[in-house]
Amino acid sequence: MKSAIGIIQPAMEKFYGLLNDDQKARLAAMSPREKQGGKGATSSDGSCGITSLSDAVAWPTDEINKRLQPSDAQKVKLTALQDATFKAADSLKATCRPSTALTPPARLAAASERLDALLGAVKSVHAALDDFYGTLSDEQKAQFEAIGPDRSGSQQASNEDAEDQPAQRRSRGRRHHRHGIHGVESVLRHIITIVR
């Protein structure tokens, strides 16, 4: 998406520069902001509709502590993950402030800034999640993986035979990193819904 903006932006600026004032006004009137009576996609106070940022992006720390029983070193990594998540949410929230960008080229530049903030959020949360996840034992990883489905109510009941468990653990071990990435994607989807 960022590369698409990079391709479109120079052409948009050139096209917009060729328009006279009347054409520019008509083009601006076609924007969703003008159709909504001058209101953008964000709330007028720039909060993106977030009533409590800390509630919206908080990791289930109590549940993680209860299930994983992390060591002191792991608790430090978990705290770093929480901090990275809050910082990412704050940076995304900052890009959600009401835009004064009225022209199509300015709106495109604002979209590019929001994408940069989103990419930065992805990188910081992903790095912190990888650091925390890397300190977990296989058993802790399995418990960590189960927290998401348990919280969403979609975890499947499992009554596996004892002899199938070693094979399943090996299988889980191969999937953990992939699920860790999906965990980041899930967190970011959550953060994105917050800043809309």
Phi, psi of 183 (to 5 degrees): -60, -40
- Output DSSP code: residue 99: P
- Output DSSP code: residue 155: P
Helices (H), the chain: 2-18, 21-29, 32-35, 53-57, 61-68, 72-94, 104-134, 138-152, 165-195
Dump pLDDT digits (tens) for 89-99. 888 787 776 66
Answer with the residue of higher pLDDT: 193 or 116. Answer: 116
Dump pLDDT digits (tens) for 97-129. 666 777 888 888 888 888 888 888 889 899 999
CA dist 150 to 67, 143, 153, 155, 185, Å?
Answer: 12, 10, 5, 5, 18
User: Hey, CA dihedral for 56, 54, 65, 171, is it positive or negative?
Assistant: positive
Total number of domains in the chain:
1
Dump pLDDT digits (tens) for 145-191. 888 766 555 434 443 444 455 444 444 444 444 444 445 556 555 55
pTM, two decimal places = 0.58
Domain around 11? 2-195
Structural tokens at position 31: 């924007």
pLDDT-based confidence at residue 70 (cuts at 50, 70, 90): very high
pLDDT of residue 136: 94
